[in-house]
Amino acid sequence: MSEQQVERFRIYSHVTKSKWLHVEDALDILKIRLFAGDYQKGQGAKAVAWHYLDLADARVLLSDLAWGKAVDYIEYKGTANGGQAVSRVLKVKTNGDKVWFALENGPGQVIGQGAVKPAGKPDAVVNVPLTTWEARRLALEVLAHLDAWTVITFRERVLAQNS
């Protein structure tokens, strides 16, 4: 699976000895990008997955995480760029004192007017656990970035809407 290479500002990163989760600015398309991977020292990445989360959904999910609320969120997305459709699934779930971010990328099937559903076993599955404190810190950092973007682009968005 390939993705068009776009340089994205990294809002937040969570990195361990074997996993990473980056939250990146994709506000040009009114989304944030979650980019995660499993790796092993000396061997590189074993699995890499990404997911684009709509801005409105991101604000609700991140607000719940920021307040330390338990979450159980699943979102299905994907792309159908002419060839093979690609399914992207995001799962964020609180389990005890951990918040698990699970990203799955794999083959998809186009249904309806362009929606994509998973079709078979995913090619890449990345599960990243964060403590509740780490998840709150991630959420607050990303929400601060979104608030700054909202203020900075307010006039431009209002003028575009009224023209």
Rg (CA), the chain: 16
Per the structure, the complete domain to which residue 123 belongs is given by: 10-162
| Residue 143 burial by Cβ neighbours in a 10 Å radius (0-12, 13-18, 19+) | middle
Examine the pLDDT at 156 and tell me if it is beyond 90.
no
Instruction: Please answer whether residues 126 and 48 qualify as being in contact, where contact means their C-beta atoms are separated by less than 8 angstroms.
Output: yes
pLDDT score recorded for residue 43: 85
Read off the pLDDT of each residue in 16-29 and give the average, rounded to a whole number: 95
pLDDT at position 140: 98
Does the pLDDT of residue 2 top 60, yes or no?
Answer: no
Q: Which residues contact 27 (CB under 8 A, 6 or more apart)?
A: 55, 146, 149, 153
User: What is the structure's pLDDT at 5?
Assistant: 67
pLDDT digits (tens, 9 = 90+) for 44-97: 889 999 999 999 999 999 999 999 999 999 999 998 877 789 999 999 999 999
We report the CATH number of the domain holding residue 82 as 2.30.31
Residue 1 has pLDDT above 50, yes or no: no
User: Tell me, what's the pLDDT at 4?
Assistant: 58
Q: Report yes or no on 4 lying in a domain.
A: no
User: 119 pLDDT exceeds 60?
Assistant: yes
Number of folded domains in the chain?
1
5, part of any domain = no
On average, the pLDDT of the chain sits at 92
Could you tell me if residue 1 is inside a domain?
Answer: no
